[in-house]
Structure 1
């Protein structure tokens, strides 16, 4: 199996590849993680076969607080638009892709927190990225911002009542998801210790709802793992097939 090097932008130690990590190995993908929040420099893109951008507690518009966001958006733009690198973004990575390519991101009218359904659009239901998955996916949500306008030429592949762009294609091999497929139970436990996330989950779910969320997430772990495996396999087929 050919080995392919994937550059991974990480924005917080608690939000890493998670359940995708062993799946990377199974598909011959070698992650090279750059921790932008820790001050890591961005390497030359020419040494990589793809780019993944993960979630984080930051917002795309917080460039003064996190100056490296300016560089990150420029790198994403170059990777997708100029180099045509295969791309995959999750949550913050989804929003960064949209803004980097000329879309708009803003605060959500209704933040989504918890385990919630997402509907594939007509384009999404027919797309190879979601092959083998049903028209409705149940997934982990935790966002207070959303893509409010698609980049030119991009298409929405999934939506929910509160968010019209839950998944997106923005280039021949560039895809992103607003929802989380990478979060293991251990990662969620770590994220809930972060003030930025804990406040949102407490406000939206309450104490009983938060407890139910944690239990339900553990119960649904086999389904989430199967969905992640399917999505990654589909992405690899599109990116390198």
Structure 2
């Protein structure tokens, strides 16, 4: 007998921002950026698999359209993207996103992935404090210290991924397992089996994307020259974004 057919996971990507111009020109939206990441992750499997056999993706602009949210009954999981905005603010669309995330978490059926801003939104929805880090920015390819659970879940002994944040989740949300930490940000990744996985970093980012963001933020006066140069020194370092995406795929198909 052949193996039982498992339909693709219906994953709704909640776009919490618009990419910088160069990224937008190439990928369209953050939905396109994450599609590119998952394509690379599927190609790296043994044996390689087409994206369409594992995931059915949809994109939802939750910043500009408060009615864009998918019916939780029509999806299996959500992925909340990064954003230049702060997850602790009370703009209408941010409050709505927190409420929708909490609804998915409490409903018990829709799995939740959070990336950077999305990680912080999940933390807020689960009752953890989110705010600005007094230690400042964490930028570019950054090495993480993994817990034993993190090593198992990500399938690596050490993890390095791109960062682009100054806000953090201050404490581990109730019931969550810590996966990774850095000296600048102790709560780097959290996990609840079959329910939630988040990372503070950006597995979807490439060197070209981060270089453009760093340059825009330097010219905009957001980053000091020293912080900018520190990020640029590490922008081309090897990173494990695809390994994180493979962990997302495994999480989405946990039974």
Structure 1: state its 5+ residue gaps.
none
Deviations 1:61-84, CA, capped at 9 Å, x for gaps: 221xx3111111111011012233
Choose the corresponding residue for 1:212, options 202, 210, 233. Answer: 233
Structure 1 residues 98 and 225, CA gap change in structure 2 (3 angstroms): closer
Choose the corresponding residue for 2:187, options 155, 165, 170. Answer: 165
Are positions 1:179 and 2:201 aligned together?
yes
Provide the rounded CA distance (Å) in 2 between the counterparts of 1:197 and 1:177.
Answer: 28
Partner of 2:8 in structure 1?
A: 3
Structure 1 residues 174 and 139, CA gap change in structure 2 (3 angstroms): same
**Residue 115 of structure 1: how far off its partner (Å):** 1.6
More strand by share: 1
Partner of 2:165 in structure 1?
A: 143
Q: CA RMSD in A?
A: 2.6
Partner of 2:47 in structure 1?
A: none
Structure 1 residues 148 and 203, CA gap change in structure 2 (3 angstroms): farther
Structure 1 residues 145 and 210, CA gap change in structure 2 (3 angstroms): closer
**Residue 11 of structure 1: how far off its partner (Å):** 1.3
Structure 1 residues 193 and 13, CA gap change in structure 2 (3 angstroms): farther
Q: Name the TM-score, length of structure 1 as normaliser.
A: 0.82
Q: What SS does the corresponding residue of 2:175 show, helix, strand or coil?
A: coil
Q: Number of residues paired by the alignment?
A: 227
Q: Which moved more, 1:51-60 or 1:105-114?
A: 105-114
Structure 2: state its 5+ residue gaps.
1-5, 20-28, 43-50
**Residue 100 of structure 1: how far off its partner (Å):** 0.4
**Residue 59 of structure 1: how far off its partner (Å):** 0.4
Are positions 1:90 and 2:96 aligned together?
no
Partner of 1:20 in structure 2?
A: 37
Choose the corresponding residue for 1:56, options 70, 83, 106. Answer: 83
**Residue 97 of structure 1: how far off its partner (Å):** 0.4
